[in-house]
Amino acid sequence: MALAKINPSKLSSWKKLVQQFDKECDHHISDFFKNEDKRLDKFSISWNNFYLDFSKNRLSNTSLKLLTNLCEETNLKNNIDKYFDGAVINETENRAVHHTALRTSGNNEVNKTLKKILNISDDINNSKRLGYSGKKITDVVNIGIGGSHLGPEMVTEALSYYSKGIKPHFISNVDHDFTLKLLKKLNPETTLFIIVSKTFTTIETLENANKVKAWFVEHVDEHSIKYHFISISNNIVAPKDFGISPENILPIPDWVGGRFSLWGSVGLIISIVIGSKNFKDLLKGANKMDIHFKNSPFEKNIPVVLALISIWYNNFFKCETEAIIPYNQFLAKLPDYLQQASMESNGKSIDRAGKKVDYETGPIIWGSTGTNAQHAFFQLMHQGTKIIPTDFIAFKNSLNDDSDQQKILNSNFLAQTNALMMGKKYPGVGIHKNIDGNKPSNSIVINKLNPLNLGSLIAMYENKIFTIGSILNIFSYDQWGVELGKSIASEILKDKKDDLDESTEMIRQLLKR
């Protein structure tokens, strides 16, 4: 039931892509529009509240066809089925990768946990679950890092318009000054702490949780911990040892990877902040995208097309990065979130057969919101020497009625994609103003930023990440590189590391002084 182990670079579609790339790599995107019949029809997908225009890419119809052949030759359809069936596709950790099951009903374990999440959030919002002194909970603090932080923070901020009133806070880094500053403004009587750690061994999270617990006990008492601390973990023993009451421990199944865990108990803070109905809509939106991904033909399948475009630029144009630019300030944390989701997944160099890859794997993901980004790094995108494939994410409607501001935002979005592709020549004015254009972009236009559409957007990227990993024959769901860093840090901390390299040892001594 494992994923197929096929080296993509040995396949005939890949070899043809190499030849085709040589033929078309210097073509201007605008020429594709002139020379290809109905380019916009073929290079766009309308689906539910989404419209993807991928016509502004340095990609011909012939190459797109070859890329879809690559899907066939790498057994993508079969691999997708295995992913959704919960097969053990994370072979190096002997686990299934089944976070998609968290957004379906039909699994008892999932339903039981979901019910618990929804009940806790309803009880808090309806003042049925109160602090130890009988006061309403006003603040909730998520203590966790990586996947136990980035998703919950990104989503609560993205959907803050839908907030039911409880204020979210996040402690992720080990930074005593930051934590202290936050604790100073919190009232222990009205604050709920959620300790989120799949393993419950992550140094940063345990350290922060211990600090917060000590603060709470100092201000209140040990006995009241049961009203104010919840933990979310795959570890059954450690949260109990920490002092969390059994009814306040929610599970993360081992088949849910940390960076894809916001759909289950890790999303508790999301459900508390936006309310249970909105949380259910978030799941529903993700599930709709999953169904689209499972059932649509490759050339009209949003996650698949985005993955193919990514592979094309990364492997043939040798672009090292991809930018994500949402034209919505509430999505400011989306690039950070996608950085972990994508780079921790596809940052690999050994293929599924255990061989060193002879091609590029995961790209570097970065980005920021438009229009801010225009005034920061867009100059390089327009006139620099690099090609940066970019996803522009725009919304048809704003949340509040101010169509004037939305028009300004969207005019800027349109201007950038147009200018990147078309450039401009200024005859007689001098060479410095000239802009060549031919810079690629995808436009993802969504009706409105709401829980349903955000769920679909996140699932769209998750499924893109899966597709890239599947085609490039890598294991997307382990993170051994990160684990190495974690274990060395722990040895250094315990003073047990006596084989550090000369340079690091020198700095260690310097830091001790």
Which residues carry out catalysis?
Answer: 344, 375, 486
The H or E element that residue 445 is part of is strand 441-446
CB of 400: closest distance to ligand F6P in angstroms? 34
CB-wise, 148 or 315, nearer to ligand F6P? 148
Taking CB under 6 A as the criterion, the residue among 131, 147, 251, 253 binding ligand F6P is 147
Nearest to 338 by CA among 324, 348, 350: 324
The H or E element that residue 325 is part of is strand 321-326
Nearest to 486 by CA among 321, 266, 265, 258: 258
Q: Report the SS3 class of residue 69.
A: helix
Taking CB under 6 A as the criterion, the residue among 58, 99, 103, 198 binding ligand F6P is 198
CB of 405: closest distance to ligand F6P in angstroms? 36
CB of 304: closest distance to ligand F6P in angstroms? 25
For residue 32, what are its two tokens? 């594709």
What's the CA angle centered on 341, arms 338 and 344, to 5 degrees? 125
Nearest to 124 by CA among 271, 323, 341: 271
Q: How far apart are CA 310 and CA 356, in angstroms?
A: 21
DSSP 92-147: GGTB---GGGGGSS--HHHHHHHHHHHHHHHHHHTTSS--TTSPPP-EEEEE--GG
The H or E element that residue 284 is part of is helix 276-295
x/- mask, ligand F6P, residues 324-363, rule CB under 6 A, reads: --------------------x-------------------
Taking CB under 6 A as the criterion, the residue among 121, 191, 197, 368 binding ligand F6P is 197
Taking CB under 6 A as the criterion, the residue among 20, 49, 148, 390 binding ligand F6P is 148
Q: How far apart are CA 398 and CA 450, in angstroms?
A: 10
Q: How far apart are CA 368 and CA 323, in angstroms?
A: 8
239 contributes a contact to ligand F6P by CB under 6 A = no
- Paired strand residues for 194: 142, 230
CB-wise, 137 or 341, nearer to ligand F6P? 341
Per CB under 6 A, the segment of 22-30, 115-123, 199-207, 350-358 that binds ligand F6P is 199-207
CB-wise, 11 or 482, nearer to ligand F6P? 482
Count of Cβ atoms closer than 10 Å to residue 371 Cβ = 18
CB-wise, 89 or 309, nearer to ligand F6P? 89
Per CB under 6 A, the segment of 126-134, 140-148, 352-360, 495-503 that binds ligand F6P is 140-148
Per CB under 6 A, the segment of 65-73, 143-151, 182-190, 288-296 that binds ligand F6P is 143-151
Beta-sheet pairing, 441-446 with 50-53:
antiparallel
CB of 301: closest distance to ligand F6P in angstroms? 27
CB of 340: closest distance to ligand F6P in angstroms? 7
For residue 293, what are its two tokens? 């991904």
| Secondary structure letter of residue 350 according to DSSP | B
Nearest to 154 by CA among 165, 166, 142, 164: 142
For residue 148, what are its two tokens? 């136990």
Contact assessment for residue 64 and residue 301, using Cβ atoms and an 8 Å cutoff: no
Nearest to 84 by CA among 462, 349, 372, 458: 462
145 contributes a contact to ligand F6P by CB under 6 A = yes
x/- mask, ligand F6P, residues 252-291, rule CB under 6 A, reads: ------xx--------------------------------
For residue 384, what are its two tokens? 């620099």
482 contributes a contact to ligand F6P by CB under 6 A = yes
What is the size of the binding site for ligand F6P (CB under 6 A)? 14
Q: How far apart are CA 289 and CA 282, in angstroms?
A: 11
CB-wise, 73 or 207, nearer to ligand F6P? 207
Per CB under 6 A, the segment of 156-164, 195-203, 405-413, 454-462 that binds ligand F6P is 195-203
CB-wise, 197 or 314, nearer to ligand F6P? 197
CB of 451: closest distance to ligand F6P in angstroms? 23
202 contributes a contact to ligand F6P by CB under 6 A = yes
412 contributes a contact to ligand F6P by CB under 6 A = no
CB of 145: closest distance to ligand F6P in angstroms? 5
CB of 251: closest distance to ligand F6P in angstroms? 13
Taking CB under 6 A as the criterion, the residue among 199, 245, 296, 383 binding ligand F6P is 199
Binding site for ligand F6P (CB under 6 A): 145-148, 197-199, 202, 205, 258-259, 344, 479, 482
